[in-house]
Structure 1
Amino acid sequence: MTTPSSGTGFAPDPTIDLQGSPNLIGPELPIPHLGIKPEAKRPVWFIAGLVLAQFGIFVALLGPATVSIQMKAQSLTTDPAEQVAMTAMVIAPGALAAVIFNAVGGRISDRTTSGLGRRRPWIVLGIIGLTLSLLLIALATGPLMMAIGWFLAQACANLGFAAFLASVADQLPSEQYGKTSGLIGIAQNSAIMVATWLSAAFSSNMLLLFMVPAVLGLILVSVYALMLPEPVLKENRYPFNLRELIATFWTNPVKFPDFGLAWWGRFLIILASYLFITFRPFYMTSHLGLPEGESAVAAVAVGVTIYTVASMVSGLLAGWISDRLGRRKVMVAIAILIFGIGTYGLLHADTVTGFYVCEAIMGVAYGMYLAVDLALVFEVLPDREKTGKDLGVFNMANALPQSLAPGVGGFLLAKLGGGTDFTALLVAAAISAVAGAILTMFIRGVK
């Protein structure tokens, strides 16, 4: 029941529909009470659907972000400098859309009065919009159309992802945070690996390159939306005015310092990651000297596979350990430090084997980080009734670095590195990671 009787400790709430919106796939699940952290564990099949949905979102979105857009740029021009400039031009405005629509999506889903629930409509609309936007990129004949398509893709994906992530916080008790966070991290990294291999397989066909991951994501996310038991709002509890709109993008770090520190820790590790990821194919050709085309793409695919396998193992172990010990921030800080070491190691790699070793180190670190960091964030959320809004603000720490990385990395690589020297870019990435680790250790509300 959405609103339990007074005998269960909750007074009836006239703004909540008593029936709610039950799940349409699988055995019937209890509908969580709005604003109250659940106590009952979710079954394995539900967790599996959740993890596959995370995989679906990211296989559709991160393939273009990490490889496909650069391959599309290479299909439009043969000049390396123009390829770098075109990639930065396309990716940067899309990441800005991610910042805006992640926060807006969380706030909208908190207030949605649909009979299908608060989160489900936006999850479905987001993945459909992402699929259509990627089709636009695949058919683009120039950088402007690519940029428009990627802006729309990021807007739709983050609108849906904000609702999806809020649904995770709505559905799970604290004791499932660590393990599920670890599995979500594995799903994200697996999605990058699969998207990279799909890019290698369909490198000569731009339509399949973008649409195969998109359709896979559409199916998996839609299935999860049908598995979701949702509380239903009959009316909005809060006014929506200019002040509320501005507040959509803000959670006071002075009033909620632990949330603010977690935000900056995430911002810095994502910035460190994307400073390299954005320019990984150029690293293979310019730093390691591999020829453009299938050789470089295949090497990237192997590196991402090593990264993913390492992250899967470390993520499972870290999630299990953090739930057993109840410790989050120390493991997060250690993971970020290791990631910084791996990033700096890329500077000294002069063979593909050395690159693979660095990918393994970064994979171990990032798997640990993702397994524990999301659990840490769930623990420091300021308001359970505004989970979507606060997680939307937090996810700006994912999106903003993606917006900044192409510009910052492009400047460091082009202006300080002459287009081929990665020293300034990789040193900046390592410093960013270490700073994130230091800030995370100042969180007081989580061990």
Structure 2
Amino acid sequence: MSTPTAGPGFAPDPTIDLQGSPNRLGPKLPIPHLGIQPDATKPWWYIAGIVLAQFGLFVALLAPATVSIQLKITTLTDVPAEQASMTAMVIAPGALAAVIFNALGGRISDRTTSGLGRRRPWIVLGSAGLTLALVLIALATGPLLMAVGWFISQAFANLAFAAFLASVADQLPSEQYGKTSGLIGIAQNVGIMVATWLSAWLSGDMLALFLVPALIGLALMTLYALMIPEPVLKENRYPFNLRELATTFWTNPLKHPDFGLAWWGRALIVLASYLFITFRLLYMTNHLGLAAGAAAAAVAVGVTIYTVASMVASLLAGWLSDYLGRRKVMVAVAILLFGVATYMLLHAETVTAFYLVEAVMGFAYGMYVAVDLALVLDVLPDRENAGKDLGVFNMANALPQSLAPGIGGFLLANLGGGTDFTALLVAALIAAVIGAVLTMFIRGVK
């Protein structure tokens, strides 16, 4: 099916192949015109493909990030302070790779001239590279090789994720943003839940612990890649030079203040989240006093509760934001509630209390992710280069993840002796409060 005309006032663009690259699965869909938001809504099966892809990638990536790496580290040392330091050492370089390759991946996919489209090749190649890199972590014999493997894992995963998220901006009309954002939020949290359960079930087999989630991610991301009706660039319209490379990692917040404020809101809630998530298993063993196996199982139950609460919140918030046309107030309230919930963890002295806090955190985060992506898509500075701008925005996911292990590891190891989580969780609360305040200054979205 050919690309629809751009409409009055748009001259034919010789750099675009009008035939495009049709979807390989499902009934043929119209191929969007490059840089113009589609008017036609996508069918249910296409939205299902988006949701499954998000689920698969988060299973593959979040299993090691939340549990598996910490489980492997507990086999290397049983000293709490050393576990905290090793966790920071392994995870921090990978999060730095996420910062670099998310933005770079978005720019590369914007410029890709493959006959398969701009996004499809990177979704598949990134997922395959992630799978191989996770095998390297599984076979590593020490923290240094684990850190190298995690760096490579995050590099490939974020190449795939940047292309995936840009494809969502390419393909959906505005009226599907809120509901789809809510479903993506559910998929993200269900992915985390499944990842933690897989980690608990496979904890006795290090290769399966890393490989099984990776294969799930590869299969579902590839499935979605085959569903995309892609515009095709015949040639790049922009030179790729040092200036272009530098702007890959930058969207001017003075020129686009709403985008900048949304970026900081995301960065601060992710920082608040990962200050705890990075050390969640250690919280269970060193704060609540559980053995490693019991801690992994308790984390899996807690994440299940978190996920159910987030699913309820995502469905309600996504629908409500589309119905009311309001985004920022809901985002700000969600960030603030999440920060308060992280602080409540200081007063959880039993596993039951931990589960109650997980429910509050899940509701807050589900409400946040359901509305925040819709808010960001509404304030994108340049729709033709959506991959680049979303790559910059996703640095707000990745950069705090690179900072959280170092900040959290310092606070936990040096101020808490590996067992006192007060400084760590107070820092999470402060980050969330600032993020909520900044979000309220966004003007272009109600």
TM-score range, shorter chain: over 0.9
Q: Residue deviations 1:306-345, cap 9 Å, x none? A: 0000000000100000001110000000111111111111
Identity %: 80
- Residue matched to 1:44: 44
CA contact (8 A) 2:4 2:30 kept: no
Structure 1 equivalent of residue 316 of structure 2: 317
- Are the counterparts in 2 of residues 4 and 12 from structure 1 also a CA contact under 8 Å? no
Q: Aligned partners of 1:2 and 1:101: how far apart in 2? A: 32
Tell me what 1:370 maps to.
Answer: 369
Mapping for residues 283-294 of structure 1, pairs under 5 Å: 283-291=283-291, 293-294=292-293
Residues in 1 aligned to 2:7 and 2:265: alpha-carbon distance in whole angstroms = 42
d(CA) in 2 for partners of 1:69, 1:344? 25
Letter in 1 for 2:54: Q
Distance 2:176 2:20 in 1: 23
Do structure 1's residue 134 and structure 2's residue 134 form an aligned pair? yes
User: 1:270 aligned to 2:270?
Assistant: yes
- 1:389 counterpart letter in structure 2: K
SS, match of residue 392 in structure 1: helix
In structure 2, the residue matched to 1:328 is 327
Partner of 1:304 in structure 2?
Answer: 303
Alignment of 1:210-229 (within 5 A): 210-229=210-229
Aligned to 2:357: 358
Matched, 1:90 2:101: no
Aligned residue type for 2:315: L
Question: What is aligned with 2:75?
Answer: 75
Contact 1:2 1:16 in 2 (8 A): no
- The amino acid that maps onto 1:338 is L
Answer whether contact 2:81 2:417 (CA < 8 A) is retained: no
Contact 1:106 1:391 in 2 (8 A): yes
Structure 2 partner of 1:28:
28
Partner of 2:340: 341
* Residues 98 and 399 in structure 1, CA contact (< 8 A), matched pair in contact too: yes
How big is the shift at 1:6?
7.0
How many residue pairs get matched? 446
Q: Determine if contact 1:2/1:32 at 8 Å carries over to the other structure.
A: no
Distance in structure 2 (CA, Å) of the matches to 1:281 and 1:160? 28
SS of equivalent to 1:251 = coil
Task: Check conservation: 2:80, 2:419, Cα contact below 8 A.
Answer: no
* 1:82, distance to aligned residue in structure 2 (A): 2.1
| Equivalent in the alignment of 1:439 | 438
SS across alignment from 2:231: coil
Contact preservation (8 Å) 1:335, 1:366: yes
1:403 aligned residue: 402
- Which residue number in structure 2 is paired with residue 379 of structure 1? 378
Greater Cα shift, 136-145 or 387-396: 136-145
- Structure 1, 4-13 or 428-437: larger mean CA deviation: 4-13
3-state DSSP class of the match of 2:305?
helix
Report how far residue 92 of structure 1 moved.
0.3
Aligned to 2:106: 106
Task: Show CA shifts across 1:388-430 (max 9, x none).
Answer: 0000000000000000000000111111112111111101101
1:376 shift after superposition: 0.2
Letter in structure 1 aligned against 2:84:
V
**Counterpart-to-counterpart distance in 1, 2:6 and 2:16:** 15
Match of 1:429 in 2: 428
The aligned residue for residue 246 of structure 2 is 246
SS in 2 for 1:20: strand
C-alpha deviation, 1:81, in angstroms: 2.3
Q: Is contact 1:54–1:187 with CA below 8 Å preserved after alignment?
A: yes
SS state at 2:234 partner = coil
What runs of 5+ residues in structure 1 fail to find an aligned partner? none
Instruction: Say whether the 8 Å CA contact 1:3–1:16 is kept in structure 2.
Output: no
Amino acid in structure 1 at the alignment position of 2:77 = T
Q: 1:59 & 1:2 partners in 2: Cα distance?
A: 35
| d(CA) in 1 for partners of 2:52, 2:445 | 28
Give the letter aligned to residue 104 of structure 2. Answer: V
Alpha-carbon shift at residue 264 of structure 1 (Å): 0.3
Tell me the distance in 2 between the aligned counterparts of 1:262 and 1:228. Answer: 28
Whether the 8 Å contact between 1:103 and 1:395 is mirrored in structure 2 is yes
AA at the equivalent of 1:135: V
For structure 2, the residue ranges without an aligned partner over 5 or more in a row are none
* Deviations, residues 58-117 of structure 1 (Å, cap 9, x unaligned): 100011000000111112223222222211111000000000000000000000000000
Write out per-residue CA displacement over residues 267-289 of structure 1, whole angstroms, 9 at most, x where no aligned residue. 00000000000000111111111
Question: Any idea what the Cα deviations from partners look like across 1:286-316, whole Å, max 9, x if unmatched?
Answer: 111112x211111111100000000000001
- Shift in Å, 1:8: 6.5
Q: Residue by residue, what CA displacement relative to the aligned partner does 1:31-61 show, whole Å, maximum 9, x if unpaired?
A: 0110001111000000001100000111000
Q: Which residue of 2 aligns with 1:195?
A: 195
Does the residue aligned with 1:385 lie in a helix, a strand or coil?
Answer: coil
Distance 1:62 1:204 in 2: 18
Find the aligned partners of 1:372 and 1:415 in 2 and give their Cα distance: 37
The root-mean-square deviation of aligned C-alpha atoms, in Å, is: 1.0
Aligned residue identity for 2:269: I
In the alignment, residue 404 of structure 1 is paired with which amino acid?
L
| Deviation by residue 1:140-162 (Cα, 9 ceiling, x = unmatched) | 11111111110000000001100
Contact 1:276 1:426 in 2 (8 A): yes
Question: CA 1:378/1:319 → structure 2, altered by over 3 Å: closer, same or farther?
Answer: same
Write the letter of the residue equivalent to 1:318: A
Separation in structure 2 between the aligned mates of residue 2 and residue 432 of structure 1, nearest angstrom: 48
Once residues 310 and 3 of structure 2 are traced to their aligned partners in structure 1, the CA distance between those partners, rounded to angstroms, is 40
What does residue 256 of structure 2 align with?
256
